[in-house]
Amino acid sequence: MNFRVLFIYLQLCLFLQNGYSQESSLVVPVISLCPEEAITLRTSELFDGYRIFSLNGCSYDRMLDILEVGDQFIALLEMKMEERYIAVFDRYGHFLQRIGNNVDFDKRVGINGIQLEPDGTLGVYVTRAYLNYSLDGKLNFRRKIENSTEMRTTGFSLQGGVGNDLYLWRMYQQQGNKDSDKYWLKITNADGHTVLQFFSLVGREQGEEYSSYTYDGCIRLYNVYDSHVYSVEKNRVIPCYCLDKGKYTTLLDMELLLADRSKAVEKAGIIHVKLKENQKYVIGEYFFKERYYYFVHDKSSGKTSNYVLVDDDILFPSSSQSRLFPSAYFQAWSDLYFDDCYFNFYYHPQDFIRKVDRLKEHLSPSGWDEFCRKHPDIIKIYQENDRDAFVIISYKFR
């Protein structure tokens, strides 16, 4: 074996055992987070078109996730912060059916997440169980996932399956007193027994919330302690990206946050990182000092662009700015509902109406007439919206 390859392999093994070595930044792409270099994003630089539709025909207060499958949309919806259910809509946003029922989903348990499986079925995770459905709503099987006493007492959250009846759990709250409990990630079998564990938290303070997502059939997580993104593939944890924060690496002091929030945020560096990826980009947001920033990492060029403002020159160039976010109407960026083709921004119906009202007030009568001629689809929803259906504007990636 080549000695250089052997050396890198040994470093990686040590890294996964301890969880905090920075050596992996030498072998994975680097995403540069630099608020000082943040610029204005013109939406036409990233997108070259849009579509608009509303999800109507059923009742809900929040949309928690949405998947586009063929000519249909599958959405995870919530009513009154209590009941969650899965709804299927056609390509125009008309409600078709629910997936699952009260027998499948105990209201006291709730639905944690949905995902499209590699075999084209729909995977649904609830507390301590995994359900698999065909896209026509038929329940294929239900698999119970045991949660051992050890896991319950140390604050672990189920992230999803990682293959061969193995399941990934992430510690979200350090409660255990045993050093053996203090690992960030654990992989268990369906009976709840720990098979593998990664990244010791012994001697580390409680960290801020983590970001996770699914890409190419694998769960990926951002580790706040070493600023790396990892892919969990069956029984392996592999580094994918290194987030370079420059000189702003100070973590958020959680104890100080409870006592004095403004002081804790002022002392911290870049925090609250959320991200997701498709085939072309890694896209996300972070918080620094007094506001959020957005970033887009181009996989092909390796370039990362940081953004402090968004100028929607495709649809709403006069959108008001926000003190906290790059754009008052691109706050939904943080929900990261995008795939390889579209970035979906959803609006509460009243918010959408106010958005168009403000544009109308800003434009001259002739400018408004021109906007109506260019965007009849937006005007149709603006005039006919039933005040209950959420509006989704999907910007098409270049």
Q: Is residue 224 part of a domain?
A: yes
**Cα separation of 319 and 315, whole Å?**
9
Concatenated DSSP letters of 94-159: BEEEEES-TTTS-TTT-EEEEEE-TTS-EEEEETTEEEEE-TTS-EEEEEE----HHHHHTTEEEE
Q: Is residue 1 part of a domain?
A: no
Mean pLDDT of 186-212: 77
- Of residues 214 and 246, the one with the higher pLDDT is 246
Tokens of 298: 């181009």
Cβ-based burial of 393 (10 A; exposed 0-12, middle 13-18, buried ≥19): buried
Buried b (16+ CB within 10 A) or exposed e, 224-253: bebbbbbbbeeeebebbbbbbbeebeebbb
CB 299 within 8 A of CB 30: no
Q: What is the mean pLDDT of the chain?
A: 83
Say if residue 211's pLDDT is above 80.
Answer: yes
Mean pLDDT of 335-355: 88
> What is this structure's pTM?
0.84
**In terms of residue numbers, what domain contains 139?**
22-397
Q: Is residue 16 part of a domain?
A: no
pLDDT of residue 201: 75
CATH number, residue 209: 2.130.10
**In the sheet that 111-116 helps form, which strands lie side by side, from edge to edge?**
111-116, 122-126, 129-133, 139-144
pLDDT of residue 5: 39
Q: How many domains does the chain have?
A: 1
**Cα separation of 181 and 152, whole Å?**
11
Q: Is residue 111 part of a domain?
A: yes
> Percentage of the chain with pLDDT > 90?
43
Q: Is residue 180 part of a domain?
A: yes
Say if residue 385's pLDDT is above 80.
Answer: no
Q: Is residue 302 part of a domain?
A: yes
Q: Is residue 287 part of a domain?
A: yes
Say if residue 2's pLDDT is above 50.
Answer: no
Q: Is residue 346 part of a domain?
A: yes
Tokens of 11: 């470093």
Q: List, for residues 253-264, the tens digit of each pLDDT value.
A: 888 888 998 899
CA distances from residue 5 to 9, 11, 204, 229, 235 in whole angstroms, order as listed: 6, 10, 31, 22, 22
pLDDT of residue 156: 75
